[in-house]
């Protein structure tokens, strides 16, 4: 029972980080039906932004979170204006190849610039610290990353639900043509979606720096999980991303615990496959 609680909490904590990662991807998809294959690389560069801030400016990984948010946002804006926008008039396959190419470019660009080494933060408010809550020992860094993710997720959700811009983004996602007739600059909405996706991925990256290593290929570790989360929650669904993120986190830990650690990704992909097969729109997808 203790193990169940212990493992369960850990699954939820990672799940919240997955949810924040899935958020950016699902928002971009919702707005313009484009899958950003470079999302994991946005995360990776956010991690570098966070790590480099920590290593060269201020020795606290949490200080890197806003920097990584800015870097991520800039990355999203550049990716959209320089690449994706130009591919919009082409067939959907052009967008797939375009963002896939961007993924390779960023990954191998990072390899060239930063080298293959793994870097890790070794000091900071929550780095390698324990948090004891009612007899349970938690990783303080994970708790903070999860809380930060939940907070950012909530912020974006409120923005989408409560502000005029959020409403316009939702309208664009729901019906691009009608949104244009309302006077909404849908092209700008695309841009904002990419900025939002980049910023959330970047900040998730900086939060991860508190307990995760940084390397040019680290995007790979997270991107499959993120895609699965988005598909599970329903492409374009924001609440779906949250629920699916937590679900994936829980499946991951409990598979490792109950079945076998080497099967955990296999089980996640199986669930994903079953959802695609029997409920293609995902758990909460609109379409």
Name the residues that contact another protein, by CB under 8 A. Answer: 3, 6-7, 10-11, 14, 116-120, 122, 128, 130, 137, 139, 164, 167-168, 170-171, 173-175, 177-185, 211-213, 215, 218, 220-222, 225, 249, 252-257, 260-265, 286
Q: How far is the CB of 158 from another protein (least distance, A)?
A: 15
Q: How far is the CB of 262 from another protein (least distance, A)?
A: 4
Main-chain phi, psi angles of 119, to 5 degrees: -115, 150
Query: Tokens 């490792």 identify what position?
Result: 256
Closest to 149 in 3D by CA, of 269, 252, 271, 242: 242
Angle between helices 140-162 and 186-208 (to 10 degrees): 170
Closest to 229 in 3D by CA, of 3, 9, 7, 19: 19
Cβ proximity to another protein: between 60 and 119 the closer is 119
Cβ proximity to another protein: between 87 and 284 the closer is 284
Q: How far is the CB of 137 from another protein (least distance, A)?
A: 7
Cβ proximity to another protein: between 3 and 93 the closer is 3
Cβ proximity to another protein: between 95 and 186 the closer is 186
Cβ proximity to another protein: between 10 and 99 the closer is 10
Computed from CA positions of residues 209, 212, 218, 221, in that sequence, does the dihedral angle turn out positive or negative?
negative
- CA angle 137-140-146, nearest 5°? 110
Q: How far is the CB of 207 from another protein (least distance, A)?
A: 13
Q: Report d(CA 187, CA 6) in Å as an integer.
A: 46
Instruction: Identify whether the C-beta of residue 131 lies closer than 8 Å to the C-beta of residue 9.
Output: no
- Show the tokens assigned to 247: 């679900």
Q: How far is the CB of 236 from another protein (least distance, A)?
A: 9
Instruction: Identify whether the C-beta of residue 141 lies closer than 8 Å to the C-beta of residue 10.
Output: no
Cβ proximity to another protein: between 73 and 139 the closer is 139
Sheet strands (E) in 33-181 = 130-133, 136-139
| Element (DSSP H or E) covering residue 252 | helix 238-254
Task: Identify the bridge partners of residue 207 per DSSP, sorted by sequence position.
Answer: none
- Show the tokens assigned to 134: 């009612």
Cβ proximity to another protein: between 96 and 220 the closer is 220
Q: How far is the CB of 74 from another protein (least distance, A)?
A: 25
Q: How far is the CB of 209 from another protein (least distance, A)?
A: 12
């Amino acid at each position: 029972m203790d193990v169940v609680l212990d493992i369960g909490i850990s699954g939820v904590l990672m799940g919240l980080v997955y949810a924040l990662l899935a958020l950016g991807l699902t928002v971009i998809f919702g707005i313009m039906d484009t899958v950003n294959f470079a999302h994991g690389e946005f995360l990776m560069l956010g991690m570098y932004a966070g790590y480099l801030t920590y290593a060269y400016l201020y020795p606290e990984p949490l200080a890197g979170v806003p920097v990584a948010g800015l870097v991520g946002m800039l990355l999203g804006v550049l990716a959209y204006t320089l690449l994706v926008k130009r591919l919009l008039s082409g067939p959907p396959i052009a967008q797939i190849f375009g963002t896939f190419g961007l993924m390779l470019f960023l990954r191998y660009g990072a390899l060239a610039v930063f080298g293959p080494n793994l870097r890790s933060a070794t000091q900071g408010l929550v780095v390698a610290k324990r948090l004891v809550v009612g007899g349970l020992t938690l990783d303080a860094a994970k708790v903070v990353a999860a809380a930060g993710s939940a907070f950012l997720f909530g912020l974006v959700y409120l923005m989408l639900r409560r502000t005029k811009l959020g409403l316009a983004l939702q309208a664009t996602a729901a019906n691009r043509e009608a949104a244009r007739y309302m006077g909404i600059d849908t092209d700008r909405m695309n841009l904002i979606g990419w900025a939002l996706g980049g910023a959330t991925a970047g900040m998730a990256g900086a939060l991860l720096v508190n307990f995760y290593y940084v390397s040019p290929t680290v995007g790979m570790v997270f991107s499959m999980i993120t895609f699965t989360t988005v598909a599970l929650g329903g492409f374009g669904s924001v609440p779906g991303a949250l629920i699916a993120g937590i679900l994936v986190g829980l499946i991951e830990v409990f598979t490792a615990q109950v079945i076998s650690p080497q099967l955990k990704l296999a089980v996640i992909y199986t669930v994903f496959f079953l959802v695609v097969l029997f409920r293609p729109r995902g758990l909460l997808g609109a379409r």
